[in-house]
Structure 1
Amino acid sequence: MSVIDDAVTWLNDPLNWTAPDGVIARTIEHLWISAAAVAIACAVAWPIGIWLGHTGRGGGTVVTLANLTRAVPTVALLTIFPLTIIGFGARAIVLALAVFAIPPLLANAYLGLREVDPDVRDAARGMGLSGRQVLTSVELPLAVPYLASGFRTAAVQVLATATLAAFVNGGGLGMIISRGFGLGLVSGGGQVLAGGVIVTLLCLIAEGLLAIAEKRLTPRALRR
C-alpha cells in the first residue's frame, strides 16, 4: 500500500478518532493551547500597539520589537522555556506560542491607529471629545479592520505552529505526527500524512471562519 492509502485507512479507523489520545481529544487540546496563546498575546500586544498608535510615538520601537520576535525560532523557545523557572508542561508551550503571536498583533494595532485620517481625528477633537473619547469612539472603530486582520494572522500562525509542541511532549495534533515518525516512515508514514492533513484542514477552516468574522466586524462603510 502507498502512504496515501495508509493515510486514508488511518483516517477511516474510528478508534483513531475516539480514543483517549485520538484525533478529537488532540484537536481539543490543540485548540485550547492555541487559544490560550493568542489570548495572552492579545492582552500584551493590543494595549501597547493601541497606545503607541494613539499617541503617534514609538513607530520604530514597534517595528524593531516585531522584527526581533520574528527572528526568535519558536522551536528554540519551546526547548528553552521548559529549562527555566517556567518548567515543563502547557504553560511553557503557551508562552512560547504567545511570543510568536505578538508581532502581527502589535504591528497591526499600531498601524490601524496611525492609518486613521488626521482630519477625522481633528474634527472629533473640534467637537469637544477628550483624548479617551477620540480613541474609543473614533480611532478604535476605524482600526477594527487592522485589529481583525492581525488577530486572524496570529491565530492561524499559532494553530499551525502549535504542532511543534509535540517535540517537547506538549500535546496537540503534533503528537499524532510525532508518533507516526516514531514508528518509522514505512509503518507510520500514513499516520504522519494523516496528521498533516488534519492540521492543514484545521488551519484552513480557522482561516475561513476568521475571514468571515473579520468581514462582519468591519463597519460596512470600511468594507470596500
Structure 2
Amino acid sequence: MRNLLFTLIVRPIVFIVLGLNIRHYERLQKSGPLVLIANHNSHLDTLVLMSLFKGKHFHHVRPVAAGDYFLKNKVLKWFSTEVMNIIPIERKMTRDFKGMFQPIIDELQNGGIIILYPEGSRGEPEQLSKYKSGIYYLMRECQNVPIQPVFMHGLGKALPKDSFILVPFFVDIFIGETFKFIDDRKVFMDEVTNRLNTLRDEGNFKEW
C-alpha cells in the first residue's frame, strides 16, 4: 500500500504539481546504508525526499521523526507508521545516545536509508536554523555509514509551517556528494554546515 500510495498520489504531486527540479541527481546514493540529511521547512520535505527513491530501494527509506508528535493520535500514528514508516525518537534530554539512536543504528545495519534533519524541527520558510549536534552523536555510533546532504528550496513557501494549504511552487533540490563522520564534534558540525551551505549557495537564490 505504501508503494502504491507514493506511485499514484505522492510522486505525481511532487513532480508535476510542484514542478520539482533536481540538480545532481546522479550523485544520489540509491542503496543503503545511508544517512540523508537536509534542511527542514515544510511537512512536504519528507515526502519529496522519499520520492527520490524508487523500486526496491524505496522500501528501505525511513524518516526519523519525533515520536511525541507523530504518534500523538490514532490517525497520525497510522499514517506515520504505515505510510511514512517513520523511526520515532523521543525528544528528551539523555546521555544514553546509543540507546536513544539504537533503532536507527539497527536499521542502518540492515541496509536502511535514513532521512534526518539536523535542524530538528521545522524552521521559518526558506530560513536555515542552527544545526543540532544530535547527528554527531548518531554518526559516532556508525562511523562508516556515508552521509549525503540535500538542500531544498521552495517547499517553505509551498506548504510552510502551520499551514494546511498547498501552494504550487517551483521547487529546487540540490544533491551533494557523500561524506563520512569526523571524530571531532566542532569540525564535524562545521562540515555539515558547510556542505549544506554550499548547496544552498549554488542556487544563488534571492531572499524572499
For the criterion TM > 0.5, the same-fold answer is: no
Greater fraction strand: 2
Greater fraction helix: 1
TM normalised by structure 2 equals 0.31
TM normalised by structure 1 equals 0.29
Q: Higher relative contact order by CA 8 Å / sep ≥ 6: 1 or 2?
A: 2
